[in-house]
A and B are shown apart, each in its own frame.
Chain A
């Protein structure tokens, strides 16, 4: 089971870091906030995966707990950056979105502080640590928000496309963004089940581990197709612009 986790983790780590580097370069050039926020998000998420892979690479179990805790903190910080990105890009004047960002940040901070308070610094005990669920809920809400915005804008972009206001590629990016969010939500559910199972039985089941690895790898592939789309993929999607009605059927 550790082999699949290791391979998946390394792929995800590198995937996030490469997309982060590309967005950081763009952000340095444009000085615009969306690319900078997303670069920070993916950099932190990539760094978190690096923390989680290091104990497996080194084989040193003593560094597992501190690096696991560091990885959770990096994930949480990246999640806050992603929430700021969502608000800035999709709901810039919305009080609800501002409240949601605040709620996510507070939930994560409470989850981390509470987990520390009950002695579960690495945040790995969903059965004995109620704060684990606070942190988990905040992360799940934030990735669900990614999915909701993606699918909502996919729907409206299809209407704009019929009027020539956006392209098939624009629509496709929202679809991939929505799918990423949806898969991350499923991943969070599987992750919770995995943690409960591990705490109860002391082992990770191979099937759940394989599913979790798949649910980690697929979104980063989708993220690549959004932000670093291969030329052949762009051509394939753009081809449907010639026949938009057929593409919608």
Chain B
């Protein structure tokens, strides 16, 4: 089960690319996974990095022309969305282990 944030970003990707729902979700899932992240515990900060650094390449591979503006549009939608404010999950293993190792 993906996070609502993943669902939101996939929906926006679908809108801005003309992808089908399946294509948009699949592309986003591949980008998230290749960043070493889990769609089930994705945070806003992580999604931003995925959209900025990996998504343009993924979209280019799938024949999308203006990849940077598509990613910027999804990022803008994300900035304006209430879902971005409610997300502050710090219970991923990285954060937990960092906390446990802190003196």
Instruction: List residues of chain A with CB under 8 Å of any chain B CB.
Output: 23, 26, 30, 32, 34-35, 38, 89-90, 92-93, 153, 155-161, 163-166, 169-170, 173-174, 177, 226-229
Contact = CB atoms under 8 A, between A and B. Distances in A.
B49 A165 contact: yes
A174 B97 contact: yes
Interface in B22-58: 34-37, 40, 45-46, 49-50, 53-54
A19 to B, nearest CB: 10
Interface stretch (B60-68, B74-82, B88-96): B88-96
Contacts of A90: 93
Contact of A35 (B54, B94, B100): B100
A30 B99 contact: yes
Contact of B101 (A93, A163, A173): A173
Contacts of B101: 169, 173, 226-229
Main secondary structure of the interface of B (DSSP, over half): helix
Contacts of B53: 163
Contacts of B96: 32, 34, 89
Counting from the closest, the 5 A-B pairs by CB-CB distance are: A159-B36, A156-B36, A160-B36, A173-B97, A34-B96
Contact of B100 (A38, A92, A155, A163): A38
A190 B93 CA distance: 31
Contacts of A30: 99
- Scoring B1, B45, B96, B98 by chain A CB atoms within 10 A of each residue's CB, the highest score goes to B96
Contacts of B99: 26, 30, 32, 34-35
B1 A160 contact: no
Contacts of A165: 35-37, 45-46, 49, 94
B36 A34 contact: no
